[in-house]
Amino acid sequence: MFILVNLKAYPCDPVEIATAANTVAESSGVRIAVAAQAAHLERVSETGVETWAQHVSPNGHGSFTGSTLAEAVADAGAVGTLINHSENRRKLADIDGSIEAAERVGLETCVCANNPEQTAAVAALSPDSVAVEPPELIGGDVSVSSADPDIVKDAVSAAAAVNEDVDVFCGAGVSTGDDVVSAGELGATGVLLASGVAKADDPKAVLEDLVSGL
Amino acid sequence: MFILVNLKAYPCDPVEIATAANTVAESSGVRIAVAAQAAHLERVSETGVETWAQHVSPNGHGSFTGSTLAEAVADAGAVGTLINHSENRRKLADIDGSIEAAERVGLETCVCANNPEQTAAVAALSPDSVAVEPPELIGGDVSVSSADPDIVKDAVSAAAAVNEDVDVFCGAGVSTGDDVVSAGELGATGVLLASGVAKADDPKAVLEDLVSGL
Amino acid sequence: MFILVNLKAYPCDPVEIATAANTVAESSGVRIAVAAQAAHLERVSETGVETWAQHVSPNGHGSFTGSTLAEAVADAGAVGTLINHSENRRKLADIDGSIEAAERVGLETCVCANNPEQTAAVAALSPDSVAVEPPELIGGDVSVSSADPDIVKDAVSAAAAVNEDVDVFCGAGVSTGDDVVSAGELGATGVLLASGVAKADDPKAVLEDLVSGL
Amino acid sequence: MFILVNLKAYPCDPVEIATAANTVAESSGVRIAVAAQAAHLERVSETGVETWAQHVSPNGHGSFTGSTLAEAVADAGAVGTLINHSENRRKLADIDGSIEAAERVGLETCVCANNPEQTAAVAALSPDSVAVEPPELIGGDVSVSSADPDIVKDAVSAAAAVNEDVDVFCGAGVSTGDDVVSAGELGATGVLLASGVAKADDPKAVLEDLVSGL
């Protein structure tokens, strides 16, 4: 299981969380990455943690002021990127373009989708993974296993029917080690979570709990 | 073969073209529809031609000023709608929502996509059809059969691999009856065209040519 | 005072409300207009009521599938249009373009803004009017006179400082005849309202109340 | 005169240009800043040059994945930001929000606009400066003084009529020291340029020429 922590624009210290994530990843052997604001990527990657961007634009080099150029994100140390997060929905053609831009510079891609049909649609564009985020679970306290386990199973089936090489992550309803285990049992190979870590009083303790059942 | 004429925002007389399309459809027995500006739908549908919208919004009834409500479009006589045209690209989640909105009121859906991968992605959302529009052919004089026939074949295969119930239309490079026949031979069950009819000096003659080989 | 009723995408009968608005306008001598879905403009204008669009696109004739062409809106009988409603926020350059497009075909323009600073900004683009919509009042039951009268006064001053020819409408917090009178006392020359009429059991009675103090 | 160099997403070395800009600024005493990709801000600011972002989002801290948080941009060393560049047009309400977000963290703001009317509109939102970018001059070889000097003069007048505290920069048609002098004579207090420096074989030589007449 892969644990991908999205810091969003939360008022947390990205370096503190990145350092904790790196420590827990090394001690547990579990893969953990931190997705940070573009302007924070350089300092986050300097902690040694696996560093992801929260978005990359579909464009390449050129006249694109204010874009998030995949090459710049990679320069700053990112090795992966989220695309089409529910807070940052993108046009279909641009999701396709952003995946291509990310692959051009070697960034791993995780595209978000909010139901099994959209998961299948995204899988057809061949990203490395799709994070299915049932809207009713985003940012809430309800665990995916208790609330809507079928949506993860259905997303896993839907993606596999279109493209067997695409992993499915559980993109909401994960805040504890039990949730991570449940997500894995439903067929997910990773989890995408945010506030559970980024808003925690003790992010390291939360991360240790998240990996505890693996 | 289905011939879908998109009037875009061209400075044509929508009623004149709709009347011509209706006449040619009736005389030839070929299915022809006209996609008009929302504000023109009522007068276009009154000609008796099969009438399509150029877009519907994902929302239902509610506080959505300036949206293109599927129910309103249907009230005005539309029986189908384009979604995600290359001049009107939409977010993946909204394409999904617009298909759902259209189906809710019985509108047939044709979602545009500009390559085989996006065609497959759209097919996963189960519209009635996908129009593949190779960007290099849009608005040009080059026929699909001479320029890039593989993109239509590949789109047909890609859609079928994901969802066998989804038709594929050829969305660019069609301006003559020969092009319509070629599109059919490549596996398309319809063509989406615009300027070839809407900017013609004699739209009726163009429509007669388009159906001549069927 | 001008009473502009925005039907949004509400599940009301646009023809019934338009007919009521036309009757009340004629009997009272107060100017009343109805802003409808683009696809409903033709049937609304046929009632004889002053008809407005809810949005027009900045483009003119051309390859703009799914746009709301000002010319088409005018063809359908609209004589005015909202631009940049809070449910349909637009880019600054496109607000400028939409005002120009509307003026090109003789549509009166009312651009929405949600505070005095944005009202001044919009006034610099020379629309016919600006509707100030304090976000905290939109869709609520609180009248503008009791909740936040200064925002209307400040918007009137701010607009006048930039462009004396631009009227200011009160875009929220209006549901009764007293509210209309209060809006006028604050310097507004019109009111923009929606649910108060569109969701009413008896829209005509509401309209009669709205004009009762004028 | 202030010289603001926008690196866009050009395939240049941002550190090399930043270092050159810092050297020329120090040797000439002219204020020069470099606007970089968000992911490059940290390395650019480490050169000591005045560092600007190319965009900031209107949001503050919170659930805003993929946004460009003003606080993060400031963390990385930026002291100013472009907003609403012609390649990154924004909604009016978001321009207002982005100015507020930038000011909250002490970033200087330069909002782009493409004609005198939009310059006045932006001035009403009280940024520190507006860069007027006549679309016909962007990215071209024609100098502002030879092509369309009135647009700069008109923008200066239009801004002053609305808000005397807002500076106007010349946002296109500047590539030489003569152009900088001409811009100043037209009333601009700064210039915004991009490819002239970012695509130059010898950026330092171009920068030295730009400041040569001051």
Q: Encoding tokens for residue A5?
A: 């922590």
Q: What is the largest CA-CA distance in chain C?
A: 48
Helix (H) or strand (E) holding D83: strand D80-83
Beta strand C2-6 with B190-193 is unpaired
**Total length of chain A:** 214
Integer Cα distance of D103 and B184 in angstroms = 59
| pLDDT tens-digit series, residues D89-119 | 999 999 999 999 999 999 999 999 999 999 9
**Total Cβ atoms within 10 A of residue D209:** 19
Integer Cα distance of B147 and B175 in angstroms = 13
Backbone angles phi, psi at B154, to 5 degrees: -65, -35
Mean pLDDT of chain D: 95
Integer Cα distance of D102 and D116 in angstroms = 24
Q: Could you say which of D95, D126, D161 has the minimum Cβ distance to residue C92?
A: D95
Facing residues of C111 across strands?
A: C83, C130
Interchain contact, D125 vs C113, CB within 8 Å: no
CATH classification at residue C54 = 3.20.20.70
**Residue D165 — pLDDT band, cuts 50, 70, 90?**
very high
**Residue C139 — pLDDT band, cuts 50, 70, 90?**
low
The arithmetic mean of pLDDT across residues B174-194, rounded, is 94
Per-residue model confidence (pLDDT) at position D129: 98
Per-residue model confidence (pLDDT) at position B139: 65
Reduced to 3 states (helix: H, G, I; strand: E, B; else coil), residue B70 is helix
User: By residue range, what is the domain housing residue B38?
Assistant: 2-211
Selected residue with higher pLDDT from D210 and A141: D210
Q: Is A165 exposed, middle or buried (0-12, 13-18, 19+ CB in 10 A)?
A: exposed
Contact between chain D and chain A (3 or more Cβ pairs less than 8 Å apart): yes
| pLDDT tens-digit series, residues A33-47 | 999 999 999 999 999
| Residues from chain A contacting residue B90 (CB–CB below 8 Å) | 91-92
Per-residue model confidence (pLDDT) at position B172: 85
Q: B125: Cβ–Cβ under 8 A, 6 or more apart, which residues?
A: A117, A118, A121, B95, B96, B99, B111
| pLDDT tens-digit series, residues B39-87 | 999 999 999 999 999 999 999 999 999 999 999 999 999 999 999 999 9
Beta strand C50-53 with C31-36 is parallel
Asked whether the predicted pLDDT for residue A139 surpasses 80, the reply is no
Asked whether the predicted pLDDT for residue C211 surpasses 80, the reply is yes
Q: Is C165 exposed, middle or buried (0-12, 13-18, 19+ CB in 10 A)?
A: exposed
Integer Cα distance of B72 and B56 in angstroms = 9
Tell which of B5, B7, B13, B37 to mutate to test the C interface (max C CBs under 10 Å).
B37
Range name among A184-198, C32-46, D129-143 with the lowest pLDDT average: D129-143
Q: Domain count of chain D?
A: 1
The answer to whether D126 contacts chain C (CB < 8 Å) is: yes
Integer Cα distance of A97 and C120 in angstroms = 39
Per-residue model confidence (pLDDT) at position D25: 98
Asked whether the predicted pLDDT for residue D138 surpasses 90, the reply is no
| pLDDT tens-digit series, residues A164-198 | 999 999 988 899 999 999 999 999 999 999 999 99
Do the Cβ atoms of A108 and A81 come closer than 8 Å?
yes
Amino acid, single-letter form, for residue D75 = D
The answer to whether D118 contacts chain C (CB < 8 Å) is: yes
A133 carries an active-site annotation: yes
Report the number of secondary-structure helices (H) and strands (E) in chain B: 10, 8
Interchain contact, B38 vs C6, CB within 8 Å: no
| pLDDT tens-digit series, residues C141-160 | 777 767 777 889 999 999 99
| Residues from chain D contacting residue C114 (CB–CB below 8 Å) | 93
Q: What is the distance between the terminal CA atoms of chain C, rounded to a whole angstrom? A: 8
CA atoms within 13 A on the CB side of C107: 34
Facing residues of D191 across strands?
A: D3, D170
CA-to-CA dists, residue A193 to A85, A137, A211, B192, D81, angstroms: 12, 11, 13, 43, 30
The arithmetic mean of pLDDT across residues D58-73, rounded, is 98
Query: For residue C69, which of D135, A132, A176, B39 has the smallest C-alpha distance?
Result: B39
Q: Could you say which of C96, C114, C162 has the minimum Cβ distance to residue D93?
A: C114
Q: Measure CA B80 to chain center.
A: 9
Q: Report the chain D residue with the minimal C-alpha distance to residue C133.
A: D93
**Total Cβ atoms within 10 A of residue B146:** 11
Asked whether the predicted pLDDT for residue C64 surpasses 90, the reply is yes
Mean pLDDT of chain C: 95
Amino acid, single-letter form, for residue B78 = A
Integer Cα distance of B188 and B211 in angstroms = 15
CA angle D20, D25, D26 (to 5 degrees): 100
Helix (H) or strand (E) holding B153: helix B149-162
Name the pTM for this structure.
0.96
Q: Could you say which of C43, C87, C139 has the minimum Cβ distance to residue B42?
A: C43
Amino acid, single-letter form, for residue B27 = S
A161 appears as a binding residue in the annotation: no
Contact between chain C and chain A (3 or more Cβ pairs less than 8 Å apart): no
Do the Cβ atoms of D49 and D33 come closer than 8 Å?
yes
Asked whether the predicted pLDDT for residue A149 surpasses 90, the reply is no
CA atoms within 13 A on the CB side of C77: 22
Interchain contact, A88 vs D75, CB within 8 Å: no
The answer to whether B104 contacts chain C (CB < 8 Å) is: no
Do the Cβ atoms of D211 and D183 come closer than 8 Å?
no
Does the structure's ipTM exceed the value 0.85? yes
Helix (H) or strand (E) holding B208: helix B203-211
Q: Measure CA B47 to chain center.
A: 19
Beta strand C167-170 with C129-132 is parallel
- Tokens 């399509």 -> residue: B52
Do the Cβ atoms of D33 and D81 come closer than 8 Å?
no
CA-to-CA dists, residue C94 to C111, C120, C133, D90, D102, angstroms: 12, 17, 20, 9, 23
Reduced to 3 states (helix: H, G, I; strand: E, B; else coil), residue B172 is coil
Interchain contact, C42 vs B6, CB within 8 Å: no
Range name among C74-83, D137-146, D179-188 with the lowest pLDDT average: D137-146
Per-residue model confidence (pLDDT) at position B193: 94
Interchain contact, A124 vs B115, CB within 8 Å: no
**Total length of chain C:** 214
DSSP B9: B
Mean pLDDT of chain B: 95
Per-residue model confidence (pLDDT) at position C1: 96
Sequence ranges of the binding site of D = 6-8, 138, 173, 194-195
| pLDDT tens-digit series, residues B83-126 | 999 999 999 999 999 999 999 999 999 999 999 999 999 999 99
| pLDDT tens-digit series, residues D6-47 | 999 999 999 999 999 999 999 999 999 999 999 999 999 999
